Protein backbone atom coordinates (compact mmCIF):
# COMPACT_ATOMS: atom_id res chain seq x y z
CA UNK A 1 0.00 0.00 0.00
CA UNK A 2 1.26 3.44 -0.90
CA UNK A 3 0.12 5.95 1.70
CA UNK A 4 1.04 9.43 0.58
CA UNK A 5 0.03 12.82 -0.73
CA UNK A 6 -0.44 14.33 -4.21
CA UNK A 7 2.99 13.21 -5.39
CA UNK A 8 1.96 9.58 -4.95
CA UNK A 9 -1.67 10.21 -5.91
CA UNK A 10 -0.47 11.27 -9.37
CA UNK A 11 -1.72 14.85 -9.17
CA UNK A 12 -1.88 16.49 -12.60
CA UNK A 13 -0.80 13.34 -14.44
CA UNK A 14 -2.69 11.30 -17.00
CA UNK A 15 -4.24 8.28 -15.29
CA UNK A 16 -1.89 5.31 -15.17
CA UNK A 17 1.34 7.33 -15.57
CA UNK A 18 2.33 8.06 -11.95
CA UNK A 19 5.15 6.27 -10.17
CA UNK A 20 2.67 4.14 -8.19
CA UNK A 21 1.12 2.82 -11.42
CA UNK A 22 4.60 2.16 -12.76
CA UNK A 23 5.38 0.26 -9.55
CA UNK A 24 2.51 -2.15 -10.15
CA UNK A 25 3.73 -2.78 -13.70
CA UNK A 26 7.30 -3.38 -12.51
CA UNK A 27 6.19 -5.80 -9.79
CA UNK A 28 4.17 -7.76 -12.34
CA UNK A 29 6.91 -7.78 -14.97
CA UNK A 30 9.50 -8.95 -12.42
CA UNK A 31 7.15 -11.73 -11.21
CA UNK A 32 6.42 -10.31 -7.76
CA UNK A 33 2.90 -11.24 -6.73
CA UNK A 34 1.83 -8.00 -5.04
CA UNK A 35 -1.21 -5.83 -5.68
CA UNK A 36 -0.47 -2.15 -5.15
CA UNK A 37 -3.16 -0.21 -3.34
CA UNK A 38 -2.77 3.53 -3.73
CA UNK A 39 -4.23 5.09 -0.58
CA UNK A 40 -2.65 8.47 -1.32
CA UNK A 41 -4.65 11.65 -0.97
CA UNK A 42 -3.84 14.98 -2.59
CA UNK A 43 -3.19 17.65 0.03
CA UNK A 44 -2.77 15.17 2.86
CA UNK A 45 -0.63 16.02 5.88
CA UNK A 46 0.84 13.82 8.58
CA UNK A 47 -2.09 14.73 10.86
CA UNK A 48 -4.57 13.62 8.19
CA UNK A 49 -2.54 10.50 7.54
CA UNK A 50 -2.40 9.64 11.23
CA UNK A 51 -6.18 10.00 11.41
CA UNK A 52 -6.90 7.76 8.41
CA UNK A 53 -4.15 5.12 8.46
CA UNK A 54 -5.99 2.71 10.77
CA UNK A 55 -8.95 2.52 8.40
CA UNK A 56 -6.67 2.12 5.36
CA UNK A 57 -4.72 -0.68 7.03
CA UNK A 58 -7.91 -2.47 8.08
CA UNK A 59 -9.28 -2.28 4.53
CA UNK A 60 -6.13 -3.23 2.63
CA UNK A 61 -4.25 -5.47 5.08
CA UNK A 62 -0.93 -4.66 3.34
CA UNK A 63 2.33 -6.56 3.74
CA UNK A 64 4.32 -3.37 3.06
CA UNK A 65 3.40 0.30 3.46
CA UNK A 66 5.29 2.94 1.50
CA UNK A 67 4.78 6.00 3.70
CA UNK A 68 5.20 9.23 1.71
CA UNK A 69 3.86 12.08 3.82
CA UNK A 70 5.19 15.30 5.32
CA UNK A 71 5.79 17.55 2.31
CA UNK A 72 2.54 19.48 2.77
CA UNK A 73 3.32 19.91 6.47
CA UNK A 74 6.76 21.28 5.60
CA UNK A 75 5.43 23.63 2.94
CA UNK A 76 3.07 25.03 5.59
CA UNK A 77 5.91 25.49 8.07
CA UNK A 78 4.49 22.96 10.54
CA UNK A 79 6.41 22.04 13.68
CA UNK A 80 8.99 19.42 12.71
CA UNK A 81 8.62 17.52 16.00
CA UNK A 82 4.87 17.20 15.34
CA UNK A 83 5.56 15.91 11.81
CA UNK A 84 8.03 13.40 13.23
CA UNK A 85 5.60 12.28 15.97
CA UNK A 86 2.80 11.80 13.43
CA UNK A 87 5.05 9.75 11.14
CA UNK A 88 6.20 7.67 14.14
CA UNK A 89 2.56 7.01 15.11
CA UNK A 90 1.78 5.83 11.56
CA UNK A 91 4.84 3.55 11.49
CA UNK A 92 3.82 2.08 14.86
CA UNK A 93 0.27 1.47 13.61
CA UNK A 94 1.57 -0.25 10.46
CA UNK A 95 3.80 -2.52 12.51
CA UNK A 96 0.97 -3.34 14.93
CA UNK A 97 -0.92 -4.68 11.94
CA UNK A 98 2.05 -6.69 10.67
CA UNK A 99 3.14 -4.42 7.80
CA UNK A 100 6.73 -3.52 7.01
CA UNK A 101 7.29 0.19 6.38
CA UNK A 102 9.35 2.04 3.80
CA UNK A 103 9.59 5.70 4.83
CA UNK A 104 9.96 8.16 1.97
CA UNK A 105 11.79 11.36 2.82
CA UNK A 106 11.24 14.80 1.38
CA UNK A 107 13.18 18.04 1.34
CA UNK A 108 12.04 21.63 1.18
CA UNK A 109 13.15 24.48 -1.08
CA UNK A 110 15.85 26.75 0.42
CA UNK A 111 13.47 29.72 0.81
CA UNK A 112 12.21 28.15 4.06
CA UNK A 113 15.54 28.94 5.69
CA UNK A 114 18.48 26.66 6.35
CA UNK A 115 17.61 25.88 9.99
CA UNK A 116 14.06 24.72 9.20
CA UNK A 117 14.92 22.88 5.96
CA UNK A 118 17.75 20.97 7.65
CA UNK A 119 15.61 20.05 10.67
CA UNK A 120 12.85 18.90 8.30
CA UNK A 121 15.23 16.84 6.13
CA UNK A 122 16.93 15.18 9.08
CA UNK A 123 13.60 14.28 10.73
CA UNK A 124 13.18 11.45 8.20
CA UNK A 125 16.66 9.97 8.63
CA UNK A 126 16.62 10.20 12.43
CA UNK A 127 13.14 8.64 12.56
CA UNK A 128 14.15 5.81 10.21
CA UNK A 129 17.22 5.15 12.33
CA UNK A 130 15.46 5.26 15.69
CA UNK A 131 12.51 3.09 14.56
CA UNK A 132 14.67 0.89 12.31
CA UNK A 133 12.67 1.30 9.12
CA UNK A 134 13.96 1.44 5.58
CA UNK A 135 14.31 4.95 4.17
CA UNK A 136 14.27 6.58 0.77
CA UNK A 137 16.14 9.76 1.76
CA UNK A 138 14.62 12.02 -0.93
CA UNK A 139 11.94 11.06 -3.45
CA UNK A 140 12.93 13.80 -5.89
CA UNK A 141 16.61 12.84 -5.85
CA UNK A 142 18.48 13.81 -9.00
CA UNK A 143 15.94 16.27 -10.44
CA UNK A 144 14.62 18.52 -7.65
CA UNK A 145 16.47 21.57 -9.04
CA UNK A 146 15.37 20.94 -12.65
CA UNK A 147 12.33 23.14 -13.35
CA UNK A 148 11.67 21.11 -16.52
CA UNK A 149 10.87 18.09 -14.35
CA UNK A 150 7.85 19.77 -12.77
CA UNK A 151 4.36 20.74 -13.77
CA UNK A 152 3.55 24.43 -14.19
CA UNK A 153 2.94 24.78 -10.43
CA UNK A 154 6.65 24.08 -9.80
CA UNK A 155 5.73 21.59 -7.05
CA UNK A 156 4.40 18.42 -8.65
CA UNK A 157 6.73 16.24 -10.76
CA UNK A 158 5.62 15.78 -14.36
CA UNK A 159 5.28 12.53 -16.29
CA UNK A 160 8.88 12.64 -17.55
CA UNK A 161 10.34 11.88 -14.09
CA UNK A 162 7.87 9.33 -12.72
CA UNK A 163 10.11 6.40 -13.70
CA UNK A 164 13.05 8.09 -11.93
CA UNK A 165 10.93 8.39 -8.79
CA UNK A 166 10.07 4.70 -9.05
CA UNK A 167 13.75 3.82 -9.47
CA UNK A 168 14.54 5.83 -6.31
CA UNK A 169 11.84 3.93 -4.37
CA UNK A 170 12.80 0.56 -5.91
CA UNK A 171 16.34 0.64 -4.48
CA UNK A 172 14.94 0.40 -0.94
CA UNK A 173 11.73 -1.49 -1.73
CA UNK A 174 13.18 -4.44 -3.62
CA UNK A 175 15.00 -5.97 -0.60
CA UNK A 176 11.66 -5.86 1.30
CA UNK A 177 9.84 -7.92 -1.33
CA UNK A 178 9.28 -11.64 -1.31
CA UNK A 179 8.49 -13.77 -4.33
CA UNK A 180 6.17 -15.90 -2.19
CA UNK A 181 2.44 -15.83 -2.89
CA UNK A 182 0.50 -12.92 -1.39
Mean pLDDT of 45-71: 98
129 vs 88: CA distance, rounded Å: 11
Under 8 Å between Cβ of 104 and 136: yes
Residue 37 resides in a domain: yes
Mean pLDDT of 29-48: 97
Q: What is the pLDDT of residue 138?
A: 98
4 vs 151: CA distance, rounded Å: 19
Total count of domains within the chain: 1
Task: Tell me the pLDDT of the chain averaged across its residues.
Answer: 96
23 vs 54: CA distance, rounded Å: 23
- Read off the CATH number of the domain in which 19 is found: 3.40.50.1110
Mean pLDDT of 3-31: 98
Catalytic residues: 6, 153, 156
133 vs 130: CA distance, rounded Å: 8
pLDDT tens-digit series, residues 129-173? 999 999 999 999 999 999 999 999 999 999 999 999 999 999 999
Which residues form the domain of 166? 2-176
Ranges assigned E (strand) in the chain: 2-4, 64-68, 100-104, 134-136
170 vs 25: CA distance, rounded Å: 12
Residue 182 resides in a domain: no
Residue 14 resides in a domain: yes
Under 8 Å between Cβ of 93 and 60: no
Residue 52 resides in a domain: yes
Q: What is the pLDDT of residue 182?
A: 45
Ranges assigned E (strand) in 2-157: 2-4, 64-68, 100-104, 134-136
Q: What is the pLDDT of residue 180?
A: 57
Among 77, 58, 56, which residue's Cα sits nearest to residue 66? 56
Amino acid sequence: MVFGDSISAGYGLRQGTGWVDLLQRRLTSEKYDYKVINASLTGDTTVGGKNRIGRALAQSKPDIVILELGANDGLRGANVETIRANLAAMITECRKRGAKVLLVGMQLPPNYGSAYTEKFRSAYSSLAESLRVSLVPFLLEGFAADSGAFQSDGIHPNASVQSRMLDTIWIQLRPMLSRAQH
